[in-house]
Amino acid sequence: MPTTPRLVLGPLLRHVDPVSATVWVETDRPCTVRVLDTTARTFRVQGHHYALVVVEGLVPGSTTPYEVHLDDVPVWPPARSPFPPSRIRTPGGPGPFRIAFGSCRYATPASADARDGIPPDALDCYAAQLAGMPQDRWPDALVLLGDQVYADETTPPTQAWMAGRRDLSQPPGPQAADFEEYTRLYRESWGDPEVRWLLSTIPSSMIFDDHEMIDDWNTSAAWRTQIEREPWWRTRITGGLTSYWVYQHLGNLSPAELADNATWQAMQGQDDAGPMLTAMAEGADGDPGAFRWSYVRHWDHVRLVMVDSRAGRVLAETDRKILDDAEFDWVEQALREAAADGVDHVLVGTSLPWLLPHAIHDVERWDETLAVRHSGRLLGRLAEQLRQAADLEHWAAFGQSFERLGRALVSVARGEAGRAPSTVLVLSGDVHHAYAAELVSPGGLRSRVHQLTVSPLHNQAPHAIEVGFRIGWSRWARALTGAITKAARVRRTGLEWSKQAGPFFGNELGELVLTGPDARFRLWATSRADDGSPVFTRVLDTELA
């Protein structure tokens, strides 16, 4: 066995503020990790080794190239890398603040089955584009809005690897079964050269969605009852949440939050943090109020409130909520603080779109109404079957949460909590297409309120989904679903929105360009040239404020 530690995955540049940054790595053995003049000792989780290096004393508005050393041996950047040096760029410099965002990245092109015909990877194309651009045009932040890995849709190479450790004819079959198999998914997804470099040099903020655990995760109380009967589920969900904490959530936290985080502090000095993290995951899955996955990013004149719309759900049919009351209180307080601080742009990140195509919104509200009104009876059971079969589980399917978020955003946009920002932007993914919509009612809005949805980064929508979402924006479909909801006495929302652009289909990445109070939304899409090479094209450039 070689004596020199090896970098397995990373570095990932995660939380960056004007004076500090965190850098995450995975290594093949215990070692000391150094970034610039800061060191951190690795911690162990079920035989795997990780480190989070907290670099402090940076200068606001500065750009600092960095290397990674393991036990004083340089391991990053790799020799003969075709990419520019990785660097830490702190907020506070001149020029616009740029944010790239998107969701749903299935594995990596080299490991996906070519027979699936998935279009080129938007993150790979974006990385290649950035490598040839001046650094002052690189984004300041990358926001990944769910399905960073697909636990329930694995690739042929991963399935072959799984078959070497267990019988895939037994449940859960060719899906991730435990923490060990999740580590393989992250290595596969984040290991290709383009994305690895991109994540090393652009600070990233992440939140999960259903495929990181299983399709339809926490759709309803009936779904929970069904899945909890499966003998393999407990190991799957604890492995999924533990891996999410290690690979994604830990890097979402600021240095101050790390210092106050009981789980992180309790891990220090432990021989293996695996049992403690498994217990944390069990508690977080069993009680929505036990753990808060939502968080805030402070970026100069921009504020991002990232909202967990999966793990914190309350699923009782008579009281369905995207978030429990305590966490929703926290979200509302974070929004009020952003307004009180006078930021120009308030962003809400949530994996699931808040504003859907009107007809689809109506169907989700109608289905929830029937499921609640007829709970335990035939019509209620039919509504539940439709809910699960058609994935009717977005914000609209949690009516009181949809309205509560609307009230909070309208309050900010009216300036009731402080100076009204220029824009209030809801960033989402999940639905495998892109669109922009704007809230147009109620009145009195001093901020423009937009829903910006971008998905997928690397996947493709089944034809039925594409047809459904195109129809969902049509006037005749809205008239039809409006009549159905009226006949069912579904409570109507007082909010009104209009589609501004889209729908766009294919692999896509969104960009926000925020310059003082001004805001632009750009959408990039991938395709293939006649020779099969990837093409990255800007398909939308629109003003938001």
How do residues 8-65 score in pLDDT, each as one tens digit? 999 999 999 999 999 999 999 999 999 999 999 999 999 999 999 999 999 999 999 9
CB 156, CB 114: distance < 8 Å: no
For residue 246, how many other CB atoms are within 10 A of its CB?
A: 25
269's CB contacts (< 8 A; 6+ apart) are: none
Q: What is the predicted pLDDT for the residue at 1?
A: 52
| CA-only gyration radius of the chain, Å | 23
Q: What is the predicted pLDDT for the residue at 363?
A: 96
For residue 44, how many other CB atoms are within 10 A of its CB?
A: 16
CA-to-CA distance for 335 and 13, rounded, in angstroms? 26
DSSP bridge partners of 347: 304, 425
271's CB contacts (< 8 A; 6+ apart) are: 44
pLDDT tens digit at each of 545 positions of the chain: 567 899 999 999 999 999 999 999 999 999 999 999 999 999 999 999 999 999 999 999 999 999 999 999 999 999 889 999 999 999 988 899 999 999 999 988 888 877 788 899 999 999 999 999 999 999 999 999 999 999 999 999 999 999 999 999 999 999 999 999 999 999 999 999 999 999 999 999 999 999 999 999 999 999 999 999 999 999 999 999 999 999 999 999 999 999 999 999 999 888 999 999 999 999 999 998 889 999 999 998 999 999 999 999 999 998 999 999 999 999 999 999 999 999 999 999 999 999 999 999 999 999 999 999 999 899 999 999 999 999 999 999 999 999 999 999 999 999 998 999 999 999 999 999 999 999 999 999 999 999 999 999 999 877 778 888 889 999 999 999 999 999 999 999 999 999 999 999 999 999 999 999 999 999 999 999 999 899 999 999 999 99
Per-residue exposure over 311-336, b if at least 16 CB sit within 10 Å of its own CB, e if not: bbbbbebeebbbbbeebbebbbebbb
DSSP 146-178: S-SS-TTS--HHHHHHHHTTS-TTSTT-SS--S
Q: What is the predicted pLDDT for the residue at 266?
A: 92
DSSP 245-278: IIIIIHHHS-HHHHHH-HHHHHHTT-S--HHHHH
Beta strand 423-428 with 448-453: parallel, antiparallel or unpaired?
parallel
In which element (H, E) is residue 480 found?
A: helix 475-487
Tell me the whole-structure pTM to 2 decimals: 0.97
Beta strand 345-350 with 423-428: parallel, antiparallel or unpaired?
parallel
Coil, strand or helix at 240:
helix
CA-to-CA distance for 145 and 226, rounded, in angstroms? 27
Q: Which tokens in the block code for residue 111? A: 């490991």
CA-to-CA distance for 144 and 247, rounded, in angstroms? 13
- C-alpha angle with apex 360: 358 to 366, nearest 5 degrees? 105
Average pLDDT along the chain: 95
Residue with tokens 């999410």: 244
CA-to-CA distance for 281 and 217, rounded, in angstroms? 15
Q: What is the predicted pLDDT for the residue at 270?
A: 86
Q: What is the predicted pLDDT for the residue at 220?
A: 96
CB 124, CB 206: distance < 8 Å: no
Which of 486, 405, 431 is CA-nearest to residue 104? Answer: 431
For residue 496, how many other CB atoms are within 10 A of its CB?
A: 12
By CB atoms closer than 10 A (0-12, 13-18, 19+), residue 173 is middle
Q: What is the predicted pLDDT for the residue at 117?
A: 83
- C-alpha angle with apex 219: 171 to 166, nearest 5 degrees? 15
In eight-state DSSP terms, residue 346 is E
CA-to-CA distance for 312 and 330, rounded, in angstroms? 12
- C-alpha angle with apex 510: 67 to 542, nearest 5 degrees? 135
Which of 118, 13, 97, 104 is CA-nearest to residue 58? Answer: 13
**Largest alpha-carbon pair distance within the chain?**
72
By CB atoms closer than 10 A (0-12, 13-18, 19+), residue 2 is exposed
CB 203, CB 142: distance < 8 Å: yes
Give the amino acid at 304: L
